[in-house]
Amino acid sequence: MIYQPKEDSYLLEKEVIKYSREKRVLDVGSGSGIQAMAALKFGAREVIATDIDFDSLKKLKRKGIKENFDNFANKESKFSNRTICKKSKMTKQIVYKSIQSDLFNKVKGKFDLIIFNPPYLPEDELEDRESRRATSGGKKGDEIILRFLKDIGKFLDKNGIVLIVVSSLTPQDKINKILKDKGMGKENIASEKLFFEKLEVWKVQRKA
């Protein structure tokens, strides 16, 4: 199941637009591709979109060409599930790649901007299994975020930032602890109150 854009997606998209210019961007768990496409449209020099779901990956490949870069050369790699698209704009070159990956397991290199709109809700046994894959962050709701933060330092450039969505329904004690242990600070840069929860976009980066 591909998570379709909702309030959390649009809240994050506004911040992605602000921070993408001239950045090497990694969109983790890209889903519908809304964040990757926003980064491409608003000045990122390179975007890598990842998702564990193969159907999502196929759509991410098509979007990288059809919606934004109609005249890109589309080259299918024989060695991996990815599409590399390049467009010349004077002396500037924009690169887009989509990779099937569970969080960081097939990602290489470091990034100026890492984007993550994770499944963050506590598990609801009444919700069907397919839907839970897109919405539930684990039994308590924080498990996927904790996995993400555990490895973030390996892929974040020295001065890079992370934009991540967190819900008031997500336990935050362990999240705050792992950030502290890794020497990272957070700033709430956007929020929206819904009738059942409050959404926040955190800007996370290494402390000076």
Q: What is the CATH number of the domain that holds 127?
A: 3.40.50.150
203: how many CB neighbours lie within 10 A of its CB?
Answer: 17
d(CA 98, CA 103): 13
- What is the per-residue pLDDT for 123? 59
Give φ, ψ of 118 to 5 degrees.
-80, 160
Lowest mean pLDDT, pick from 105-109, 122-126, 141-145: 122-126
Residue 37 belongs to domain spanning: 7-206
200 located within any domain: yes
CA distances (Å), origin 165, targets 38, 87, 90: 16, 31, 35
* pLDDT mean over 179-190: 95
41 located within any domain: yes
- What is the per-residue pLDDT for 173? 94
* pLDDT(130) > 60: no
80: how many CB neighbours lie within 10 A of its CB?
Answer: 12
- Judge whether 36 and 59 are in contact, CB under 8 Å: no
70 located within any domain: yes
Q: How many structural domains does the chain have? A: 1
Helices (H), 20-158: 34-41, 54-66, 129-135, 143-151
Percent of the chain with pLDDT over 70: 73
1 located within any domain: no
